[in-house]
């Protein structure tokens, strides 16, 4: 009940940003896919909702240069941007509104409060960016639009970008909690997340990318729990 | 049952090299209403935050309801109400949503009837968002949220700051509502000595982080006295009396502020320095507090020259 109350409060605070990011990504993504589909298939009759016979696009062209994959930079920007915003909303804004004492003085452990915050923030990010990504993949898979579905690795790489947003979120949260000055260790959270994101972006092996992400997330999480337990509010 | 609800032992907090709270030794017995007073920057908020485990002490310790402040368990926090300075609540929430949120942490002890009555008494619309409330209304919501779980110990950090006289009175009446319940203890910091005088039975005075007084209100009011001595001849250059706080010289008069000087001591002093007459001036709590915490060489802001 306590966790549910904390989660509900945190999720509600994330909701406007989550919806904004989802709407922007969904609107741009679907518009882009539709435009790409039209470019590749100019004879398509959109009013009928399916491809007329003899207008199929060659399969190899879509496999190696999927329109969905072209959305990567947009997905990356939205994911990183939402990660930054949610981290700031949950861990920086309370420093200015001075609501930490009210939140912390309640019959719940600090770890429970932090877990609720992180769960709500991560859920919001995954639902907004991941959810839209699944929708776009589904849309791109509709044979009526693209003739052949985008390859699964494009879908998986998209999820890596979603997870990069989570890393940014954790890094921003850590910087927000830090009481140090910017030019000292306060920058560590965001800087570390940026480094991990950079390393992962240049990493072509899925397994190695996941290993780097897992390492970064574990380090940021351990720092976050330690900082939250010992920080003065 | 332990009769001390709040205890600090050498509680100290430094910010860099500046002491905010300096070796604070306090004991607050169960069932008292304690006014925690001090000038701006005296260390009241820091001391309260240290007591609640929101800050880490540089040295010393504090305990609430027998539990060390640095490791207050959820079960102990459930028994302590806290009204933070400035009544900082979640601005986007409505009063109803905030009530629901707060109630989740006190499932068994939440007094729905009391909360409803207080909200009705203060005439607060439940659907209104916190960000649309005035400072006074936010204070009222804070108080209702803190009182509804029936806390054994209520700690309030300058709860009446910035409120007008009418709202302040309503707020104090709300506090009295809790006081009426047996065994409840209240610690509240305030700048408004009139409020302290009205509801407290104990006073703690802190100055530059150092504890200056911790006694019953009656004892404090009895202890601080101002005596005006009149002389027909010259005013004596030096006055030697135990408990002398301030000494102000006039043309034919000497004004002394004393701590712990009873009638006999004052009479003996007047006789020893050959005062023609003496008069003990009645002081209210605010005057007493100002005299008690004023530095020895304090000057008036505007020193008009007599022509």
- CB–CB contact B84 A101 (8 Å): yes
Evaluate whether B179 touches B199 at the Cβ level (below 8 Å). yes
- The pTM assigned to this predicted structure is 0.84
For chain B, what is the mean pLDDT?
A: 86
The residues, ordered by sequence, that sit 6+ positions from B222 with a Cβ below 8 Å of its Cβ are none
Torsion of CA B226, B229, B234, B239, to 10 degrees: -50
Instruction: Retrieve residue A28's tokens.
Output: 């741009």
Backbone angles phi, psi at B190, to 5 degrees: -160, 155
Share of chain B above pLDDT 90, in %: 39
Which residue carries 């990318």 as its tokens?
Answer: A209
Asked if the model's pLDDT at residue A52 lies above 60, the reply is no
Note the pLDDT tens digit of each residue in A168-213. Answer: 999 999 999 998 887 778 889 999 999 999 888 876 688 888 899 9
In terms of Cα–Cα distance, which of A117, A12, A94 is closest to B98?
Answer: A12
Asked if the model's pLDDT at residue A227 lies above 90, the reply is yes
Asked if the model's pLDDT at residue A57 lies above 60, the reply is no
Q: Using alpha carbons only, what angle is made at residue A104 by residues B188 and B96, rounded to the nearest 5 degrees?
A: 85
Asked if the model's pLDDT at residue A145 lies above 70, the reply is no
Which residues 4-63 in chain A show a CB within 8 A of chain B? Answer: 4-5, 8-9, 12-13
Out of A101, A105, A230, the one facing B77 most closely (by C-beta) is A105
Check residue B252 and give its pLDDT. 82
Mean pLDDT of A29-36: 84
Check residue A146 and give its pLDDT. 66
Task: Give the integer Cα–Cα distance in Å for A145 and A39.
Answer: 11
Domain borders along chain B are 4-208, 224-293
- CB–CB contact A107 B105 (8 Å): yes
Check residue B307 and give its pLDDT. 43
Which CATH code fits B4-208? Answer: 3.40.50.300
Domain borders along chain A are 2-230
- In this predicted model, which residue has the larger pLDDT, B19 or B181? B19
Out of A2, A98, A99, the one facing B105 most closely (by C-beta) is A2
Q: Which sign does the torsion angle of CA B173, B175, B178, B183 carry?
A: negative
Strand partners, B280: B227
Interface ipTM: 0.81
Asked if the model's pLDDT at residue A42 lies above 60, the reply is no
- CB–CB contact B86 A98 (8 Å): yes
- In this predicted model, which residue has the larger pLDDT, B173 or A2? A2
Note the pLDDT tens digit of each residue in B102-145. Answer: 999 998 889 999 899 889 888 899 999 999 999 888 988 998 99
Note the pLDDT tens digit of each residue in B233-281. Answer: 777 777 777 788 888 887 888 888 888 877 888 888 888 888 888 888 8
Query: In angstroms, what CA-CA distances link B45 with A88, B20, B51, B124, B213?
Result: 26, 10, 10, 28, 17
Note the pLDDT tens digit of each residue in B186-233. Answer: 999 988 888 888 888 899 999 989 999 999 999 998 888 888 888 887
For chain A, what is the mean pLDDT?
A: 85
- In this predicted model, which residue has the larger pLDDT, A102 or B268? A102
Asked if the model's pLDDT at residue A67 lies above 70, the reply is yes
CATH class of domain segment(s) B224-293 = alpha beta
Task: Give the integer Cα–Cα distance in Å for A186 and A227.
Answer: 12
């Amino acid at each position: 009940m306590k966790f549910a109350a904390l989660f509900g409060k945190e999720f509600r605070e994330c909701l406007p940003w989550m919806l904004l990011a989802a709407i922007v990504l969904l609107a741009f993504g679907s518009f882009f896919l539709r435009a790409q589909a039209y470019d590749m298939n100019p004879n398509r009759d959109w009013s009928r909702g399916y491809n007329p016979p003899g207008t199929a696009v060659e399969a190899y062209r879509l496999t190696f240069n999927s329109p969905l994959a072209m959305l990567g930079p947009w997905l990356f920007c939205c994911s990183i941007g939402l990660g930054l915003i949610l981290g700031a909303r949950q861990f920086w804004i309370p420093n200015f509104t001075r609501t930490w004492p009210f939140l912390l003085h309640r019959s719940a452990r600090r770890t429970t409060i932090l877990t609720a915050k992180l769960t709500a923030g991560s859920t919001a990010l995954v639902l907004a960016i991941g959810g839209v990504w699944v929708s776009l993949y589904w849309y791109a898979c509709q044979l009526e639009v693209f003739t052949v579905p985008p390859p699964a690795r494009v879908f998986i790489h998209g999820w890596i970008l979603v997870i990069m947003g989570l890393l940014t979120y954790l890094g921003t949260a850590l910087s927000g909690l830090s009481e140090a000055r910017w030019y000292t260790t306060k920058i560590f959270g965001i800087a570390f997340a940026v480094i991990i994101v950079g390393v992962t972006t240049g990493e072509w092996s899925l397994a190695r990318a996941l290993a780097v992400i897992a390492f970064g997330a574990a380090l940021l999480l351990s720092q976050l729990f330690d900082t939250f337990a010992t920080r003065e509010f | 049952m332990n009769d001390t609800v709040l205890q600090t032992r050498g509680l100290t907090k430094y910010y860099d090299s500046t002491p905010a709270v300096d070796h604070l030794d306090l004991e607050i017995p169960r069932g008292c209403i304690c006014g925690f007073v001090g000038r701006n920057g005296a260390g009241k908020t820091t001391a309260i935050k240290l007591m609640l485990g929101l800050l880490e002490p540089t040295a010393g310790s504090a305990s609430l309801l027998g539990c060390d402040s640095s490791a207050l368990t959820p079960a102990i926090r459930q028994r302590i109400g806290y009204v933070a300075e400035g009544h900082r609540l979640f601005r986007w929430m409505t009063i109803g949503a905030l009530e629901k949120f707060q109630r989740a942490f006190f499932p068994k002890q939440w007094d729905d009837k009391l909360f409803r009555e207080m909200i009705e008494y203060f005439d607060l619309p439940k659907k209104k968002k916190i960000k649309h409330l005035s400072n006074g209304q936010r204070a009222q919501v804070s108080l209702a949220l803190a009182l509804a779980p029936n806390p054994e110990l209520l700690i309030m950090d300058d709860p009446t700051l910035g409120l007008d006289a009418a709202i302040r009175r309503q707020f104090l009446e709300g506090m009295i509502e809790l006081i009426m319940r047996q065994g409840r203890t209240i610690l509240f910091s305030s700048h408004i000595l009139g409020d302290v005088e009205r509801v407290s039975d104990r006073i703690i005075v802190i100055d530059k982080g150092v504890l200056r007084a911790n006694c019953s209100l009656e004892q404090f009011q009895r202890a601080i006295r101002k005596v005006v001595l009149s002389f027909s001849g010259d005013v004596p250059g030096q006055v030697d009396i135990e408990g002398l706080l301030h000494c102000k010289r006039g043309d034919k008069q000497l004004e002394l502020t004393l701590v712990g000087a009873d009638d006999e001591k004052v009479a003996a002093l007047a006789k020893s320095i050959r005062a023609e007459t003496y008069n003990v001036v009645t002081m209210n709590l605010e005057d007493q507090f100002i005299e008690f915490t004023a530095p020895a060489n304090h000057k008036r802001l505007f020193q008009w020259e007599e022509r």
